Amino acid sequence: MYQSIKRFIDIISSIILLVVLFPLLSTISIINFFFVQGNPFFLQTRFGKDLKPFSIIKFKTMVPSATKKNILGKWSHGDVEITTFGRILRLSSLDELPNLFNVFRGEMSLIGPRPLLKNHIEKYRKNNIRRHEVRPGITGLAQVKGRDGLSWNSKYGYDVFYVKNLSIKLDLYIIILTFRVLINRAGHKEDGVEPPK
């Protein structure tokens, strides 16, 4: 029952936030266009509710490294570097703002387990698959309980706990703690990597 209510809240909240934050999103897009010299957005396949794949939308923060070309004059996978503006976006978590489009489209929720790459899912223990019973979120219990300072098993544990105890009270608790984490920048580390374009 709450998942249906939660989806309604996600739709209304994402619309309001996209409208209110439109000037900021537009400004970041324009500035980022010059820093990455092209498309300011980054799309990557992640896995959401019921393990359904979708393209997560973020601001691009990495570009091919100018100092790491191979003998053919091309960049190898992983030879990337964070732009100056990209570093600011990551430290402030503003690179995640385009996730709001994923929320509006129903691929994500404001709150839930972070969506992961396929290689992480392949290493799951059987019980961890339960984290995919809900839509992945922009923020979640693992993010406010230690973020990247946690081991993967601890993250999965918090994710499964969230699924088992899903409630408006828990979501409000996570929202409040999210603001504290954003201010303190506790446990922050890069969330995934972008392949060179």
pLDDT, tens only, 88-124: 999 888 999 999 999 999 999 999 999 999 888 887 8
Res. 78 pLDDT band, cuts 50 70 90:
low
Q: Which structure tokens are listed for 91?
A: 């430290």
Model confidence pLDDT, tens digit, residues 141-157 = 999 998 778 888 899 99
Cα distance between residue 59 and residue 86, in whole Å: 8
Whether the per-residue pLDDT at 187 is higher than 80: the answer is: no
57 vs 79 pLDDT, higher one: 57
Cα distance between residue 21 and residue 93, in whole Å: 14
Q: Specify the pTM.
A: 0.84
For the residues 27-43, what does the mean pLDDT come to?
Answer: 95
**Going by DSSP bridges, is the β-strand pair 80-82/109-111 parallel, antiparallel, or unpaired?**
unpaired
pLDDT reported for residue 111:
97
pLDDT reported for residue 166:
94
96 vs 197 pLDDT, higher one: 96
Whether the per-residue pLDDT at 163 is higher than 90: the answer is: yes
Mean predicted lDDT score pLDDT of the chain: 86
Long-range CB contacts for residues 50-53, cutoff 8 Å, separation at least 24:
50/132, 50/133, 51/121, 51/129, 51/132
